[in-house]
Structure 1
Amino acid sequence: MGQLDVHRAQRFLVRVHATCVRRLGPEHPSTLAVAGDLAHAHSWAGDYSAAITLLERVREDGGRILAEDRPQLARLLGALGSAYYRTGRLDTAMRLHRQSLEMLVEHAGRDDERTFRAHGDLLSDLLAAGLGEMALPLLRQYAEEAERRYGEGHPVTFTARTNLAWAHQECGEPERAVDLLRGCLADGERLLESRHPYIWTVLNNLGAAYRAAGRPAEAVEAYEQALDGLRRAYGETHPETLKVRDILEFARQSLQPPE
């Protein structure tokens, strides 16, 4: 997983999880932990339905054990919410992320790192639901706190800054979004390895910001770079690759003069 070789990681984790179930049982804490890792690998590989199925099974199989470890249960609910988020089921994602956040606030505290990340998940839901105006001041504060906690080179900080740019775009400030995303891209290229998924996320968002700002040629260039990276990282059939490919085709059509 650390080398972003997600398909190979999937194969190993499937074997480990099957061994844990057979030898330890489905409710053993080690089995539940491995299942969470496997679900994460499924999500990274674009197999969101497999991730949801596995996490729902973990919630059922490990309900009694997880109920005794409320922060761990909250993390499971958050992971399940993120999987639903990627399938476009925003109502379910928001409900699970809100449950996760409330549980972590109560049992881990507001200053806990897990609570902070859960708050970020819920803010992403608000953006995806078209509530950028509501989310903007919260995201500005969240991005500042993320940089204070983790530094400018941490994935949590990158994601927070990218979402802040998205909120500006949603609020009718596309040029502000472009400026923020270009800064994010420069920092990502300087601080992360070239294959990191964050780079392709920023390029995709930058393409959207350029389109909103009426700069279609620059949008096409950003989408082309994002698509090239996604193809090399995840392959042609990954959902993110397919999504950006379709967006790029639409953006290219906007460059063609009317007949």
Structure 2
Amino acid sequence: MRAETPEAEALALFLRAQVDASGLTMTAVAEKIRYSRSQVGLYLSGRVPEQSFVAELIRATVIEPVLRERRQAEAARLVHAASNPRSARAAAREGGHGLGAELEQARARQMETYERLTRALEQQAEIQEAARNSAQLVMVLLTMISALEERVGSLSAERDRLLGQPDYLQAPGDVRQQLGRALDQERRAREELARAREKQRHAEDLANRVQQRVLELTDELERLRALARGGPAGEPPSESGVRRGTDPGERSTADPVGDDIDQALARAAAVNDDRTLQRIAGELQGPPGWEPSSGSGPVIEPSGVVRDGQDNPATVEFFATLWGESRSACGTGDYRKAVRLLAELVQRCDRVLGGDHPDTLEARHQHACNVGESGDRAGAVLLFAALVVDRVRVLGGDHPDTLTTRHQHAYNVGESGDRAGAVLLFAALVVDRVRVLGGDHPDTLTTRHQHAYNVGESGDRAGAVLLFAALVVDRARVLGSDHPYVLINRHQHAYNVGQEGDRVGAARLYAEIAQDEARLGGPVHPHALLARSQQAYNLGRAGSWADAAQIYARLAADCARVLGPDHPDTLVNRYQHAFNLGKSGSAAEAARLLQGVLHDQTRVLGPNHPNTVATGRWHDHFAG
């Protein structure tokens, strides 16, 4: 709605400015002041509110006490003027023609300044988003280039190996073609990296210019408020639509890793091609009131699937039974049974509903998941690769189900042992999820976790440290520092720091994690015990044997009290306590303790268990 009077419009614009300055969403404001979102929307659009609403809104959006008092006084005057518009105008006329004209001019300038400040703040947010996307893209491309270099080396070695074979020129899968493609992809990745870095620099320059404009407009607004205590009319900022990418079409299956890299590079180019920064730069160079025309691209409707004229009730009931039984089997860990049930469900869905029906595609997805969980990771990789092609064709490359299937494909590639291939697939998926869902979406953060994990498991511990460090910061910002996912990422970050060689740094990180885990779950929570164990382990690897022995002694006592004296974790911590004590120089005491551990391990685990054998060997060593 529009305000009915200039005074009501001035009040609405003033209230909107307080909300914009606070950074709160309309939903958050509604929750804080206990009004419905629709009521808040009406009052911010021009309906004159009661004084209590205005007072609560100012209290919720203005934190600093002195400024809040000033805003309350200004708001009270605006509410009075909006509630009595005729008397306000009459008072202005009584002040004389010259003063009234001056006030009107000041209000007009204030309205224009409000609009320019609002646009500058919108530009600031757009620049920050573009800078974040470019920064994430730089990180992903650096990892992709590293993996591509490894892929080029592997393909070059394979090419050299095949050169001496007589059937090399007819070899299926043509290694030479894949090698040439990988070299071209590496070149393109480096080009996109250079463009992404240039966008970062451009964003920094624009951010400085816009920040300067915000400061200037804020000062101007304060000056105009001193001339006129009302607020100018204005329009609420419009919400921009989300641009969707086009369907990338079907993919070749001859070189699936290469296909995913091509898609990732195409979408990296799309991120770099985004003209947000160029548009804002043009706006900054244009006249103050100039705005570019905006429009939305064509909406591509997905092709529909026509069902049979009537559903067979018996068939529907049978489908529901298969779904329920398969989920039950999966929930109890009987993945082989789930695989059999879901394979039958896929066949039935394909025959009754058609291969492109959403239920058929979802059944195939669940079937592939359970194939992987049953231990057949290679089979799951093939199933997911085929499903990705079909979901891209039917739903489009940006559909959430397509992105989920690509995540599972990459996960199973990594679990099958091809960590380098998983790194490439996850890197490509990160680019697409950032573009489609945004950098803070839970699915984007999950994919970044898997990407970082596979980078570390592929041998690039330094790269994993950087990726997990960035992920910890982003997840803490989005979820809160005490969220379980943040703590998991901190564990992974500390683990890779230690694996990279910085054992002292890893021990320090684990000590901090142990404190937070104990604060949240108690000192004997499994995660707190794990962090303490890793702290002690890294201290020992760093040469601080005595410090490690002390931590292991307390751990052994806690595990015995909580888990029982014969629990494997209790026995391991007793062994580690004695081992580190011996390494610190107390060989006789270590031998005595290991004798007790050896006795209990033989009784609980058996004399031939690897842990029992290792304990006996170190007992003999320290006993001399």
Aligned partners of 1:127 and 1:213: how far apart in 2? 21
Identify the match of residue 85 of structure 1 among 402, 407, 414: 414
Q: For the Cα contact (< 8 Å) 1:181–1:206, is it kept in 2?
A: yes
| Structure 2 unmatched runs, 5+ | 1-326, 560-566, 573-608
**Residue in 1 that maps onto 2:457:** 128
Aligned partners of 1:56 and 1:91: how far apart in 2? 17
Q: Does 1:187 align with 2:512?
A: no
1:73 partner amino acid: T
1:18 partner amino acid: E
CA separation of 1:30/1:161 partners in 2, compared to 1, >3 Å: closer, same or farther?
Answer: farther
Aligned partners of 1:257 and 1:93: how far apart in 2? 44
Q: For the Cα contact (< 8 Å) 2:339–2:367, is it kept in 1?
A: yes
Which runs of structure 2 are paired with 1:247-258 in the superposition (5 Å)?
255=618, 257-258=620-621
CA displacement, residues 158-194 of structure 1 (integer Å, 9 cap, x when unaligned): 3311211122103322244345446369739939xx8
Q: For the Cα contact (< 8 Å) 2:503–2:542, is it kept in 1?
A: yes
Which moved further from structure 2: 13-22 or 133-142? 13-22
Which moved further from structure 2: 147-156 or 203-212? 203-212
Q: For the Cα contact (< 8 Å) 1:40–1:51, is it kept in 2?
A: yes
Q: For the Cα contact (< 8 Å) 1:39–1:55, is it kept in 2?
A: yes
**Residue in 1 that maps onto 2:494:** 165
1:142 partner amino acid: L
Aligned partners of 2:407 and 2:430: how far apart in 1? 8
Identify the match of residue 117 of structure 1 among 435, 446, 458: 446
Deviation of the 1:89 alpha carbon = 0.6
Q: Does 1:8 align with 2:334?
A: yes
Aligned partners of 2:532 and 2:412: how far apart in 1? 22
CA separation of 1:212/1:151 partners in 2, compared to 1, >3 Å: closer, same or farther?
Answer: same
CA separation of 1:68/1:124 partners in 2, compared to 1, >3 Å: closer, same or farther?
Answer: closer
CA separation of 1:33/1:180 partners in 2, compared to 1, >3 Å: closer, same or farther?
Answer: farther
Aligned partners of 1:251 and 1:211: how far apart in 2? 17
**Residue in 2 that maps onto 1:100:** 429
**Residue in 2 that maps onto 1:67:** 396
Identify the match of residue 18 of structure 1 among 332, 339, 344: 344
Aligned partners of 1:9 and 1:62: how far apart in 2? 24
CA separation of 1:252/1:73 partners in 2, compared to 1, >3 Å: closer, same or farther?
Answer: farther
Kindly indicate whether structure 1 or structure 2 has the higher relative contact order, using CA contacts under 8 Å at least 6 residues apart: 1
**Residue in 2 that maps onto 1:231:** none
After TM superposition, the score normalised by the length of structure 2 is: 0.31
Q: Percent identity?
A: 17
Q: For the Cα contact (< 8 Å) 1:78–1:97, is it kept in 2?
A: yes
Which moved further from structure 2: 19-28 or 122-131? 19-28
CA separation of 1:201/1:76 partners in 2, compared to 1, >3 Å: closer, same or farther?
Answer: farther
1:225 partner amino acid: D
**Residue in 2 that maps onto 1:37:** 366
Q: For the Cα contact (< 8 Å) 1:110–1:116, is it kept in 2?
A: yes
CA separation of 1:248/1:85 partners in 2, compared to 1, >3 Å: closer, same or farther?
Answer: farther
Q: For the Cα contact (< 8 Å) 1:162–1:184, is it kept in 2?
A: no
Deviation of the 1:127 alpha carbon = 1.4
Q: For the Cα contact (< 8 Å) 1:26–1:62, is it kept in 2?
A: no
Aligned partners of 1:67 and 1:101: how far apart in 2? 17
Q: Does 1:225 align with 2:569?
A: yes
CA separation of 1:22/1:147 partners in 2, compared to 1, >3 Å: closer, same or farther?
Answer: same
CA separation of 1:168/1:247 partners in 2, compared to 1, >3 Å: closer, same or farther?
Answer: farther
Which moved further from structure 2: 16-25 or 139-148? 16-25
Q: Does 1:48 align with 2:380?
A: no
Q: For the Cα contact (< 8 Å) 1:13–1:34, is it kept in 2?
A: no
Deviation of the 1:209 alpha carbon = 4.2
Aligned partners of 2:615 and 2:460: how far apart in 1? 28
Aligned partners of 2:507 and 2:346: how far apart in 1? 47
**Residue in 1 that maps onto 2:468:** 139
CA separation of 1:64/1:9 partners in 2, compared to 1, >3 Å: closer, same or farther?
Answer: same
CA separation of 1:5/1:67 partners in 2, compared to 1, >3 Å: closer, same or farther?
Answer: same
Q: Alignment RMSD, CA only?
A: 4.5
CA displacement, residues 117-140 of structure 1 (integer Å, 9 cap, x when unaligned): 222222112212232223324322
Aligned partners of 2:328 and 2:537: how far apart in 1? 29
Deviation of the 1:93 alpha carbon = 0.4
**Residue in 2 that maps onto 1:156:** 485
Q: Who wins on radius of gyration, i.e. which is larger? A: 2
1:124 partner amino acid: Y
**Residue in 2 that maps onto 1:239:** none
After TM superposition, the score normalised by the length of structure 1 is: 0.66
**Residue in 2 that maps onto 1:240:** none
Deviation of the 1:257 alpha carbon = 4.6
CA separation of 1:247/1:151 partners in 2, compared to 1, >3 Å: closer, same or farther?
Answer: farther
Aligned partners of 1:250 and 1:211: how far apart in 2? 21
Aligned partners of 2:491 and 2:612: how far apart in 1? 23
